[in-house]
Amino acid sequence: MFNDVEVDADTRRQLELLKGGLTIPPPANREKAARLAQIGSELSSMYGSGQYCREDGTCLSLVEVSAQMATSRDADLLLVYWEGWREVAVPMKPLYVEQVGLGNEGAQSLGFSNVSELWRGKYDMPADEFPKELDRLWSQVEPFYESLHCHVRAKLGEHYGEDTVPQDQPIPAHLLGNMWAQTWGNIYDVVKPEQEMQVPDVTAALKAQGYDELAMVKQAESFFSSLGFEQLPETFWERSMFQKPEGRDVQCHASAWNLDDQEDLRIKMCIQKTGEEFNVIHHELGHNYYQRAYKDQPLLYRGSANDGFHEAIGDTIALSITPKYLKQIGLIDEIPDASNDIGMLMQVALDKIAFIPFGLMVDQWRWKVMSGEVAPEDYNKLWWELREKYQGVQAPVDRDDDAFDPGAKYHVPANVPYTRYFLAHILQFQFHKALCDIAGDEGPLNRCSIYGSEEAGTALNKMLEMGMSEPWQNAMTTLTGSPDMDASTIAAYFAPLKTWLDEQNKDRMCGW
């Protein structure tokens, strides 16, 4: 109704945000809208209650099979778990197909051609331009990803044999330490440099110094305080959940909340006392500080400049958890010299760079599905084409005709758009660089920590408090001086590792 009404630019922006606010908009018809809601909850619950059940009747939850995927080095067993978990998705397919149809009807009633156009249209540029922008960013990362892929495939070939890991083909998807082969940090032991690397053991340091869950959160808060951000409110400490409560089930997946859109900030986590979780706490607090920074914006502007920004903020801070910082807060005694950086960079790359093509392909698949470019009988085929094209991984066994492998990833049945995570992985390095420049850190990017820099904090806060009141390009300019997303910082951050990888790969055939 309001599409053609003449209003000022600011009102138009708010109307557009309102119109694009739903992920899967319901059709106007009440019965169809009710059916769409029912499908949504059924798909979520199929995933949430999903289990892998063995022939003897014992069943494993996703948490349990994921732990196996992370730690087992038995290719046959990994394959059993990999295939087993994907069984949960088979019955989702007819519901998913029906949902696509209903969602598209809803999108059309708002003036979009389909849900794909609605999703691609949320980035302050024409919906058809946005995928080209993503391709551009990916092309900046691709050469480094290929070097990493080449080394990892070679090492997996040494470990499992080249029959299992053919050196001229995509990597079988069950061997990378993660159910979806989306982060590879769990196989660091297989692919790490042979030379001994001194990498700070944060988990051990936390233990040695008697940090409990609360102390870990306090330490993370103090990072933000050192940048000049106001301390978290008293209610944060009273109302957050830091530990898994006794005697009742909770969703342990870490999350951050602002309950009243003002000061009622909380996180919900079952904190493990590890270095990895220490990072996650910073990630979650990043959400809280962002939420608080834009709380005075009009309601529709209280949000992330684009959806990648919110996920990127805490990670940006976590990139400053460097040995230099760990020494400053007394968690380690000595900063290992730069020759040890390859080990640390490898760990970061296995998680963050390995993720990037996965973060890209999930919505490449969904955009084609939602726009009807691919028919339901080809959904799974397209999924694996994209997995091969971008990630260079392949299904370890031929997939059955009724397989619906995308459904085995939470964000597909739950309808959470995924491009935000791709963007966040690009943006966090770009933000880190901008903040290090502002903080006056002149060393290599991977050794920089902005801890204690109020200048960096002020610059960051300027961007955060804009919320989504202006196109994200303006928020970007506020912090970085340029309106463009740019993945070239990744090459700079990982430069020492790239040199090392190229040396390792010089007699190998790379690519797939």
- Report, as residue numbers or ranges, the catalytic residues: 253-254, 283-284, 287, 311, 411, 421
Q: Are strands 255-258 and 265-268 parallel, antiparallel or unpaired?
A: antiparallel
Question: By C-beta, is 165 or 269 nearer to Zn ion?
Answer: 269
**Separation between Cα atoms, residue 317 and residue 169, nearest integer Å:** 37
**Nearest-angstrom CA–CA distance, 145 and 184:** 12
Residues in contact with Zn ion, total (CB under 5 A)? Answer: 1
- Quote the CA–CA distance of 427 and 486 in Å, as a whole number: 8
Q: How far is the CB of 254 from Zn ion (least distance, A)?
A: 8
DSSP assignment of 231-265, as one string? Answer: PPPHHHHHH-B-SPPTTS----S-EEEETTSSS-E
Q: Whole-number minimum distance, CB 441 to Zn ion, in Å? A: 25
Q: How far is the CB of 23 from Zn ion (least distance, A)?
A: 17
Output 277 or 311, the one with its CB closest to Zn ion. 311
Please, are residues 380 and 405 in contact by the beta-carbon 8 Å criterion?
Answer: yes
**Buried b vs exposed e over 165-189: b needs ≥16 C-beta within 10 Å?**
beeeebbbbbbbbbbbbbbbbbbee
Per-residue contact flags (x/-) with Zn ion for residues 253 to 292, judged by CB under 5 A: ----------------------------------------
Measure the CA angle with vertex 264, ends 242 and 450; round to 5°. 70
Is the distance from CB of 136 to CB of 434 less than 8 angstroms? no
Give whichever of 89 and 281 is closer to Zn ion, judged by the CB atom. Answer: 281
Q: What token pair was written down for 245?
A: 């409560």
Nearer Cβ to Zn ion, position 311 or 388? 311
**Complex with Zn ion: residue 351 or 441, whichever CB lies closer:** 351
- 95: three-class secondary structure by DSSP: helix
Nearer residue to Zn ion within complex by CB, 174 or 425: 425
Long-range contacts of 139-144 (CB under 8 A, 24+ apart): 140/486, 140/487, 140/488, 140/490, 140/491, 141/353, 141/356, 141/426, 141/487, 141/490, 143/491, 144/349, 144/353, 144/490, 144/491, 144/494, 144/498
Separation between Cα atoms, residue 426 and residue 434, nearest integer Å:
13
Tally of CA atoms within 13 A in the half-sphere of 416 that contains its CB? 11
Q: Which x/- pattern over 301-330 shows residues binding Zn ion (rule: CB under 5 A)?
A: ----------x-------------------
Task: Tell the smallest beta-carbon distance from residue 316 to Zn ion (Å).
Answer: 12
Q: Rounded to the nearest whole angstrom, what is the least distance from the CB of residue 335 to Zn ion in the complex?
A: 29
Dig out the tokens for 491 from the structure.
């090459």
Are 78 and 156 a contacting pair, CB within 8 Å? no
- Which residue lies nearer to Zn ion by CB, 88 or 285? 285
Beta strands in 67-219 (DSSP E): 171-172
Closest distance between Zn ion and the C-beta of residue 32, in Å? Answer: 33
Q: What is the torsional sign of CA 15, 19, 20, 21?
A: positive
Beta bridge partners of 258: 265
Pick the closer one to Zn ion by CB: 117 or 311: 311
For 454, what's the count of Cα atoms within 13 Å in the CB-facing half-sphere? 2
- CB of 45 closer than 8 Å to CB of 153: no
The CB-of-266 to Zn ion minimum distance in angstroms stands at: 14
- How far CA 74 is from CA of 70, 82, 159, 177, 201, in Å, comes to 11, 12, 10, 11, 27
The nearest distance, CB 59 to Zn ion, in angstroms, is 29
Return the bridge partners of 59, or none.
53
User: Which residue number is nearest to Zn ion in terms of Cβ?
Assistant: 311
In the complex with Zn ion, the residue whose CB is nearer, 288 or 505, is: 288
Which residue number, 311 or 441, has a Cβ lying nearer to Zn ion? 311
Please name the residues in contact with 193: beta carbons below 8 A apart, sequence gap of 6 or more. Answer: 342, 343, 346, 500
CB of 456 vs Zn ion, minimal distance in Å: 21
Task: Please give the residues from 325 up to 384 whose contact with Zn ion meets the rule CB under 5 A.
Answer: none
Measured in Å, how far apart are the chain's first and last C-alpha atoms? 50
Q: How far is the CB of 351 from Zn ion (least distance, A)?
A: 14
Q: Cα dihedral angle (195, 200, 203, 204), rounded to 10 degrees?
A: 90
Footprint of Zn ion (CB under 5 A):
311
